[in-house]
């Protein structure tokens, strides 16, 4: 008999975690302790007008090993306008980590991120630096924070969970990126979410597809997560469609995903070149077609481990991460709202086994 996967959707789960329907500032603060058995990370990405991108992650430990002691790490990935990507990791001593539980205010070595304004939409400032790269960016939210229910999936019982909070589903970004020895002024759009939990993700989840887009007035987040066989290979979809600051659809029970035309990556993994997400309920439907993916990152998660343990871990698993820029064809049929629009999107594939 497979173990259950429990979605924390409903008033009883909000009450259990002291949550309301409206996301509060403290929810983006530190939510998990840093002792063995938990993990936490704050993720930011920016897509910039000069066609460069930046991805910054502040984490308490490698997500594949929550049993580790506090192992703060910062990852900074910059993709230049010509498509050349550089990713660097910073692994400072544990005493160089701090975080507030009142709002997003995280420090890892010389790098930091802090919420600078709240209200309906939230703002953030960050500084991230590694040996050869740096980012100094200000994120201004244009869509309010959102979460599906309490934002948690429980595995097997109501004690073991993985949590997710899209604190800034869509916003504007401005600041500077430093690479190739030069500092460049940039502006564009961005996204921020926050994850934490007390289960080793490879022990409960097989893989996930996660994507986001902002086309015209529409903001989308679309997710397909698949649990391990011992949890019945349960699907854990997430879906948000908003127009401006109004949520149009967020009931993910009616979301499905299909991938086609798989191609081989030099790292030994395959990924699809065509991905469709379809939300359909009664006579209403939202269709997302992702086409012509451009690979901007393909890497083993083992790189986030300290070098001394990396080779040993490789003997047992090689969890892999892909990130793509892609073209999105969006079709909306929601009663009185009929629309079709094309634009850019971003999605990732996390293979945990």
State percent of the chain over pLDDT 70. Answer: 95
More confident residue, 316 or 291: 291
Structure confidence at residue 81 (pLDDT): 94
How far apart are alpha carbons 327 and 339 in whole angstroms?
Answer: 17
pLDDT digits (tens, 9 = 90+) for 128-178: 999 999 999 999 999 999 999 999 999 999 999 999 999 999 999 999 999
CATH architecture of 5-18+32-351: Beta Barrel (2.40)
Structure confidence at residue 201 (pLDDT): 87
Structure confidence at residue 307 (pLDDT): 59
Using CA atoms, how far residue 218 sits from 214, 215, 221, 284, in Å, is: 6, 5, 10, 17
Q: Say whether pTM exceeds 0.85.
A: yes
Highest mean pLDDT among 42-46, 84-88, 270-274: 42-46
Please report which confidence band the pLDDT of residue 317 belongs to, taking 50, 70 and 90 as the band edges: low
Please report which confidence band the pLDDT of residue 245 belongs to, taking 50, 70 and 90 as the band edges: confident
Structure confidence at residue 302 (pLDDT): 60
Whether 304 shows a pLDDT value over 60: the answer reads no
Mean pLDDT of all residues belonging to the chain? 92
Whether 74 shows a pLDDT value over 90: the answer reads yes
Whether 213 shows a pLDDT value over 50: the answer reads yes
More confident residue, 351 or 275: 275
Structure confidence at residue 352 (pLDDT): 83
More confident residue, 19 or 312: 19
47's CB contacts (< 8 A; 6+ apart) are 53, 188, 189, 190, 325, 344, 346
Structure confidence at residue 284 (pLDDT): 97
Structure confidence at residue 315 (pLDDT): 46
Whether 288 shows a pLDDT value over 80: the answer reads yes
More confident residue, 265 or 313: 265
Please report which confidence band the pLDDT of residue 111 belongs to, taking 50, 70 and 90 as the band edges: very high
């Amino acid at each position: 008999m497979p173990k259950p996967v429990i979605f924390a959707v409903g008033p009883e789960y909000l009450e259990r975690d002291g949550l309301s329907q409206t996301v509060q500032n403290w929810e983006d603060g530190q939510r998990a302790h840093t002792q063995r058995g938990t993990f936490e990370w704050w993720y930011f990405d920016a897509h910039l007008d000069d066609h460069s991108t930046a991805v910054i992650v502040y984490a308490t430990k490698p997500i594949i090993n929550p049993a580790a002691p506090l192992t703060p790490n910062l990852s900074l990935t910059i993709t230049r306008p010509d498509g050349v990507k550089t990713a660097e990791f910073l692994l400072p001593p544990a005493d160089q980590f701090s975080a507030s539980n009142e709002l997003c205010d995280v420090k890892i070595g010389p790098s930091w991120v802090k919420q600078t304004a709240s209200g309906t939409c939230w703002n953030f400032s960050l500084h991230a630096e590694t040996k050869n790269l740096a980012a100094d960016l200000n994120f201004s939210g244009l869509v309010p924070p959102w979460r599906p229910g309490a934002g948690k999936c429980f595995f097997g019982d109501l004690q073991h969970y993985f949590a997710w909070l899209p604190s800034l589903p869509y916003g504007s970004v401005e600041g500077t990126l430093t690479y190739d020895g030069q500092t460049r002024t940039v502006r564009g759009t961005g996204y921020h979410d926050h994850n934490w939990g007390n289960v080793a993700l490879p022990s409960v989840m097989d893989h996930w597809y996660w994507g986001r887009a902002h086309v015209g007035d529409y903001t989308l987040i679309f997710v397909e997560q698949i649990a391990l066989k011992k949890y019945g290979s349960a699907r854990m979809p997430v879906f948000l469609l908003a127009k401006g600051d109004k949520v149009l659809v967020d009931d993910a029970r009616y979301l499905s995903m299909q991938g086609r035309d798989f191609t081989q990556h030099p790292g030994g993994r395959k990924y699809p070149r065509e991905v469709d997400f379809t939300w359909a309920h009664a006579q209403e439907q939202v269709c997302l077609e992702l086409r012509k993916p451009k690979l901007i990152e393909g890497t083993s998660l083992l790189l986030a481990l300290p070098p001394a343990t990396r080779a040993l871990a490789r003997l047992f698993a090689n969890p892999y991460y892909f990130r793509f820029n892609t073209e999105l064809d969006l079709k909306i049929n929601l009663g009185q709202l009929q629309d079709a629009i094309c634009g850019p999107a971003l999605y990732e594939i996390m293979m945990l086994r």
